[in-house]
């Protein structure tokens, strides 16, 4: 399929709420494959459609980074149902390349997502998968992980990011 350009921090399209997906189409199947291809090319664990400029509630996750086809997860109109426990660890984002910061997330998360056929299913994720669920669903709501930090920390991160891009 195709590797798409990833939008970066500051692009207003990353701040929009995504639109729900209706009936599954061949174009959506192509988008999903492109998202996996883009995530693998960027050495990511996942990517959301808004990160490639598509304002739809679709994200993909593969915690094996392409090593295990069974690890591929497609989130369609997902919603976090609940979280449990906490984990603190480094988090990065394909839209903010080169930046990794310690962020607290739930250790275990349950999400509701639609299948390609339109049925709803519940998925459970722990540790890295829980972090990825939260991170990608945040993208679908127009939120970047750096927004969890206070204004001073966010300014420091933004300066570090700007320097790395110069």
Separation between Cα atoms, residue 100 and residue 130, nearest integer Å = 17
Phi/psi of residue 5, each to 5°?
-70, 135
139 annotated ligand binder: yes
Query: CB neighbours (10 Å) of residue 130?
Result: 23
Binding site annotation covers 65? no
How far is it, in rounded angstroms, from Cα 123 to Cα 45?
A: 17
100 is in an annotated binding site: no
* Catalytic residue set: 136
Strands (E), 4-153: 46-48, 58-62, 72-76, 79-84, 87-92, 100-105, 108-114, 120-126
Binding site, residues?
Answer: 93, 135, 139
Binding site for Fe cation, residues?
Answer: 93, 135, 139
């Amino acid at each position: 399929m195709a590797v798409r350009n990833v939008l970066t921090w500051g692009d207003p399209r990353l701040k929009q709420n995504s639109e729900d997906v209706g009936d599954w189409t061949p174009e959506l199947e192509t988008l999903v494959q492109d998202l996996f291809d883009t995530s693998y090319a960027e050495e990511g664990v996942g990517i959301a459609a808004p990160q490639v400029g598509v304002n739809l509630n679709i994200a993909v996750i593969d915690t094996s980074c392409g090593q295990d086809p069974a690890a591929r997860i497609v989130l369609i109109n997902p919603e976090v149902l609940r979280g449990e426990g906490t984990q603190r660890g480094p988090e990065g984002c394909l839209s903010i390349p080169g930046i990794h910061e310690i962020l607290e997330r739930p250790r275990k998360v349950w999400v509701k997502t639609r299948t390609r056929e339109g049925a709803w299913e519940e998925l459970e994720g722990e540790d890295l998968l829980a972090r990825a669920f939260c991170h990608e669903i945040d993208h679908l709501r127009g939120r970047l992980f750096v927004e969890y930090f206070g204004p001073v920390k966010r300014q420091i991160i933004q300066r570090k990011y700007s320097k790395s891009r110069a």
